[in-house]
Chain A
Amino acid sequence: MATQTRSLPGVATTARRSEGVWRDAFGRLRKNKLALLGAFGVLLLLFAGIFGPMLAPWPYQAQDLEAITANGSEPIPPFQDMSHPLGTDQLGRDILSRLLDGAQVSMTVAFVVQLVVLFIGVPLGAIAGWLGGRTDTYLMRITDVFYAFPDLLFIILMSVAFRETAFGRALNGVLLVFVAIGLTSWVTVARLIRGQLLSLKETEFVEAARAIGVSDRNIVTRHLLPNAIGPVIVAVTLGIPTAILAEATLAYIGIGVQPPRASWGTLIAEGQPFIRSYPWLTLFPGILIATALMSFTFLGDGLRDALDPKLKGKQ
């Protein structure tokens, strides 16, 4: 009986804190300079997205006609007039304020689209991977159809079809675009989850969980999904720039955010005819889009390395 309480060799006797997978991953992420830069950019953009409209010196639609008139009916260039630090457009609207307003749209797009993606992709992939067989085949064929469909065409069709409905008008037409973008991008996550579950469900800890009478549902939600979540986080983070870009593209061709509200895409579209005479109209939103894309991509890459150290260095 004495053996029961005898302490074993190789067991640390000093108390120490529990280290989870997440803490480990965070430690690795912190060492990655580029990822930190990305995280910093993401935080900055998030901050701009949430508090931007409050910090903006002007309302996004306000026209400072006096200033323009004083400038000979020309848009005010950046860094000239401190009440318009980044200048105005030809209608006298403050560029900085409009960019901050656009940040809100872009950040909302970033997260709402990914929510839609997770909401569709995770359950669908989980069901397909767990049940396998015929269900898997059917669900994956549906996924293939969505994958094969031209994204832009689908989004345009959807926004045209629903434009006049309550859903289409919700949130100034933005919600429709978000959902449409989400509907075209859940495929990656669904496939990812399915693939993960296909291999994970053969592991012994699943058999062990079954052997103690855990229900199928709990096995999937408690045992398998947490194991599959790493790659999903990476996919979602890397999906954000795609979504931002998609929104900007759509805004550029006039779908989505309606004037006078601004998104970075509409700002570029509005400034584009004057790109030679007033380059700052397109330059600033362009810089912001590029920054956002790079920040999220760096962060996503860093997360991938942090969550799966084996992958590091092999691309």
Chain B
Amino acid sequence: MEEAVSLELTPDEAARITREQRETKAAKSKYLLEVKNLSTHFFTPDGVVRAVDDVSFELGYGETLGLVGESGCGKSVTALSLTRLVPNPPGKIVAGSVVFDGVDLLKLSDEGMRKLRGKEIGFIFQDPLTSLNPTLTIGYQIAEAIRQHMGLSKKASYDRVVELLAKVGIPRARDRLNDYPHQFSGGMRQRVMIAIALSCDPKLILADEPTTALDVTIQAQILELISVLSDEFGTAVLMITHDLGIAAGMCDRVNVMYAGRIVETGSVDVIFERPRMPYAWGLLDSLPRLDDVRSDRLRTIEGLPPLLINVPDACRFNPRCAYARDACRDHEPELTPREEPGHYARCWATDKGGWIP
């Protein structure tokens, strides 16, 4: 029953696609989403918080890209910036471009952006318990996007809702249209959220920690559902997670974020087998392992991510890094290419001439 739905295939394939894409940089239309130098700052009384700082990445059509990192690394703010949902004030996208399917979203009018949200870009939120309106029926809330964007009649939109609910695995879908969110379990509500995200056949789904609020068994079901449906609909997914296990199972490529920056990017294989950034090592080390019987405590990365106010020109991970040297404190490293094509890391130690081979 659980035949791992062609997950084995995708990383290699994606790595190949990514390689091709990197080689033909000129053909920009190959990417569904191209984020360039995106910076989102929050203007707080204590100073300017650089939540997202000069972030660039691409996402191909139908690709699943992971965005991993600790809490407070700017993952969610990146996703919100892509759809211009950053609360303003205090947040503001101060620089960069987000080209989605040939359109720069940051230059779009508010109304144009509104028409795009939900239609071209679906959003799955972290907590399905609070992301559904308690006073509206499930049917209404799914139909809302459809009616908003597809101009279907009430009846036609409800037919589509039933279809969607069946697709996300909600039994007796027609009977449950008039149910309220509190009559659904957490997992079911996340299925509803997925139905909402998929309702208008979007080209891209932003999944912001879609399983954090769910227990582990439901988590597996939801992830499989997202992966099956995104394959079926050919939808690209930006999967935001702090769980590397999820990234390993779902994604073609992975961006590791730390303190508002992308610190390492590459295919999922490379990131897991040969990461070239001590932060990624730390993340991998802190995963619980079945074969590790020596200790009953999880390993952690000591310390906390830095406050993103007045960030010095230094590697942002250096205070927590066991390999840090003066070079790390003097200048911030760039994202530089590593051996594998498409693999980039931001680290002096593992770069050419660095002290970690």
Contacts and interface: CB of A to CB of B under 8 A. Distances in A.
Whether chain B is bound by chain A comes out as yes
Interface of A: 1-8, 10-11, 13, 15, 18-21, 203-205, 207-215, 222-223, 226-227
Given A4-B225, A11-B188, A213 B132 contact: no
Nearest to B202: A212
Contacts of A227: 133-135
Given A4-B225, A18-B179, A210 B117 contact: yes
A13 B171 contact: yes
A211 B175 contact: no
Contact of A205 (B85, B133, B185): B133
Contact of A213 (B149, B166, B179): B149
B117 A213 contact: yes
Interface of B: 1-2, 5, 83, 85, 114-119, 122-123, 125, 127, 130-137, 144-145, 148-149, 166-169, 171-172, 175, 178-180, 183, 185, 187-188, 193, 196, 199, 221, 224-225, 228
Contacts of A19: 180, 183
B181 to A, nearest CB: 9
B226 to A, nearest CB: 12
A222 B143 CA distance: 13
B195 to A, nearest CB: 11
A5 B228 CA distance: 13
B147 to A, nearest CB: 10
Nearest to A17: B178
B169 A205 contact: no
B193 A208 contact: yes
A11 B185 contact: yes
A215 B114 CA distance: 7
A212 B123 contact: yes
Nearest to A133: B89
Given A8-B188, A205-B133, A212 B145 contact: yes
Contacts of B125: 204, 207-208, 211
A262 to B, nearest CB: 43
B133 A8 contact: no
A314 to B, nearest CB: 22
Given A15-B175, A204-B130, A205-B133, A213 B145 contact: yes
B82 to A, nearest CB: 11
Nearest to A215: B114
B169 A4 contact: yes
A212 B196 contact: yes
A213 B85 contact: no
A230 B196 CA distance: 27
Contacts of A223: 133, 135-136
Contacts of B180: 18-21
